[in-house]
């Protein structure tokens, strides 16, 4: 189908019962995203959208005005879209929107909250799974490989949708005058060989040895083992940092670290790491928790976290070897002199 085709048109081609159910979800969320994008673009005369509501989400993050607006828009858009179980970052327990719904949706309605009042890029990330009984939570305890679709919207200079229904990754941009998303890229591939990384470097002292070794080697530049001068970028929202990597290649890391509460990193598995990993694999890239593919993890709790190492396949594999090397070094017996045997 041609470039410039509308999202609705492209989704008409979705195949199978599950494919069509996922297409319905994506269309409903596109409607919510278009409305949210308009809310974000409005002058903040009635108070800042990033103002704290005084409440916190289940993970302890302060809830902001825009978090709640985004949650309301997404949830109501999904009400009539054949969605059974629904899990949002903003609500503690999963609920059922439509008992007859055949798919389950996990969603972060507003990713990157700290970017709200600085006119930075923020987004909405979602994952669509087959609905499984017997209660609202069970559907979410399937591995990420069960996803039927995943994607994210980015609210930046443009409003963009990056989405996959399991047959590659397409990119759409909101045409505000027409009020619809138009396809601007089909079959997106993450390039390899790009010397660029994204990590919150202020946590250097908290990282595990493998991560520190990898980043320290990047910092060594052309004289180091990577043999290249590296560039670093950190926008502070997963959608923005992720999208840059989908476009340009490189690697994103939010690893586990030594801070209290960060034993499994910062990102939530079901509505952050897993959908991004699905997209990365669909675009020829990779995503692991440092050691194993994110998509192989079976969640046990709705809001559980996972370390995320995502990007060009060659780089993600390289980081895996750093983890492995540290494990091997630890396992090797150390001689009396302290030298490794
Ligand atoms: O999970 C929320 C999130 O804002 C991500 O979008 C982003 O990658 C990360 O947290 C930013 O973390 P930090 O506050 O450590 O920069």
Ligand 1: distance of its center to the CA of 20 in Å? 32
Dihedral of the alpha carbons of 54, 59, 65, 66, in degrees to the nearest 10: 170
Q: pLDDT (tens digit, 9 = 90+) per residue, 114-139? A: 898 899 999 999 999 999 988 999 99
What percentage of the chain reaches a pLDDT higher than 70?
95
Distance CA 287, CA 65 (A): 32
Nearest residue (CA) to ligand 1, atom 16: 236
If one residue of 236, 270, 275, 277 were mutated to test the ligand 1 pocket, choosing by the most ligand atoms within 8 A of its CB, it would be: 236
Predicted pLDDT at 246: 98
pLDDT interval class at 54 (50, 70, 90):
confident
CB atoms within 10 A of CB 229: 13
Nearest residue (CA) to ligand 1, atom 7: 237
Distance CA 105, CA 98 (A): 12
User: Which residues approach ligand 1 with their CB closer than 6 A?
Assistant: 111-112, 200, 236-238, 241, 254, 266-267, 272
Residue in 79, 71, 163 with CA at minimum distance from that of residue 111 = 71
Nearest residue (CA) to ligand 1, atom 1: 267
Calculate mean pLDDT across residues 216-235. 96
What percentage of the chain reaches a pLDDT higher than 90?
85
If one residue of 62, 203, 266, 272 were mutated to test the ligand 1 pocket, choosing by the most ligand atoms within 8 A of its CB, it would be: 266
Structural domains present in the chain: 7-185 (3.30.540.10), 196-331 (3.40.190.80)
Residue 113 pLDDT > 60:
yes
Residue 62 parent element (H or E): strand 62-64
Ligand 1: distance of its center to the CA of 206 in Å? 16
Nearest residue (CA) to ligand 1, atom 3: 112
Ligand 1: distance of its center to the CA of 242 in Å? 11
Calculate mean pLDDT across residues 262-270. 98
Contact 168, 150 (CB under 8 A): no
Residue in 228, 271, 252 with CA at minimum distance from that of residue 319 = 252
Nearest residue (CA) to ligand 1, atom 13: 236
Residue 172 pLDDT > 60:
yes
Contact 215, 204 (CB under 8 A): yes
Catalytic residues: 61, 67, 89-90, 108, 110-111, 272
Does the CA dihedral 169-279-6-241 come out positive or negative? negative
Residue 3 pLDDT > 90:
no
In ligand 1, the atom with minimum distance to the C-alpha of 203 is 15
As to burial, measured by CB atoms within 10 angstroms (0-12 exposed, 13-18 middle, 19+ buried), residue 168 is middle
Ligand 1: distance of its center to the CA of 19 in Å? 31
Predicted pLDDT at 340: 37
Ramachandran category for residue 113: left, alpha or beta (phi over 0 → left; psi -120 to 50 → alpha): alpha
pLDDT interval class at 206 (50, 70, 90):
very high
Residue 213 pLDDT > 60:
yes
Residue 48 pLDDT > 90:
no
Residue 341 pLDDT > 70:
no
**Contacts of 306 by beta carbon, 8 Å cutoff, 6+ apart:** 264, 265, 267, 268, 269, 273, 274, 289, 294, 297
Predicted pLDDT at 333: 53
Ligand 1: distance of its center to the CA of 248 in Å? 20
Nearest residue (CA) to ligand 1, atom 4: 112
Predicted pLDDT at 1: 60
65-79 helix and 16-41 helix, angle to the nearest 10 degrees: 150
In ligand 1, the atom with minimum distance to the C-alpha of 115 is 4
Predicted pLDDT at 51: 80
DSSP conformation class of 232:
E
């Amino acid at each position: 189908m041609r470039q410039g085709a509308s999202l609705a048109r492209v989704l008409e081609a979705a195949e199978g019962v599950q494919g069509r159910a996922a297409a319905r979800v994506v269309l409903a969320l596109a409607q919510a995203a278009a409305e949210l994008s308009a809310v974000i673009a409005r002058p903040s005369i009635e108070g800042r959208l990033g103002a704290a509501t005084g409440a916190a989400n289940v993970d302890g993050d302060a809830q902001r005005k825009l978090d709640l607006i985004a949650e309301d828009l997404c949830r109501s858009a999904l009400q009539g879209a054949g969605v059974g179980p629904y899990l949002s970052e903003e609500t503690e327990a999963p609920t059922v929107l439509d008992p007859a719904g055949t798919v389950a949706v996990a969603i972060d309605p507003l990713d990157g909250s700290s970017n709200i009042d600085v006119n930075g890029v923020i987004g909405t990330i979602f994952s669509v799974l087959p609905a499984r009984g017997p209660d609202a939570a069970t559907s979410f305890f399937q591995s990420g490989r069960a996803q039927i679709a995943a994607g994210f919207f980015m609210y930046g200079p443009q409003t963009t949708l990056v989405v996959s229904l399991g047959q590659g990754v397409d990119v759409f941009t909101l045409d505000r005058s027409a009020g619809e998303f138009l396809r601007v890229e089909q079959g997106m591939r993450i390039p390899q060989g790009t010397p660029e990384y994204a990590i919150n470097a202020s946590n250097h002292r908290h990282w595990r040895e493998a991560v520190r070794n990898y980043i320290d080697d990047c910092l060594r530049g052309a004289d180091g083992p990577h043999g290249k001068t590296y560039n670093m970028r950190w926008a502070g929202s997963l959608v923005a940092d992720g999208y840059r990597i989908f476009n340009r290649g490189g690697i994103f890391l939010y690893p586990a670290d030594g801070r209290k509460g960060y034993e499994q990193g910062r990102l939530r598995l079901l509505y952050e790491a897993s959908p991004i990993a699905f997209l990365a694999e669909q675009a020829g890239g990779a995503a692991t928790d440092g050691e194993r593919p994110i998509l192989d993890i079976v969640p046990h709790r709705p809001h559980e976290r996972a370390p995320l190492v995502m990007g060009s396949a060659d780089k993600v594999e390289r980081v895996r070897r750093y983890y492995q090397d540290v494990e091997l070094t630890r396992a090797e017996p150390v001689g009396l002199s302290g030298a490794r045997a």
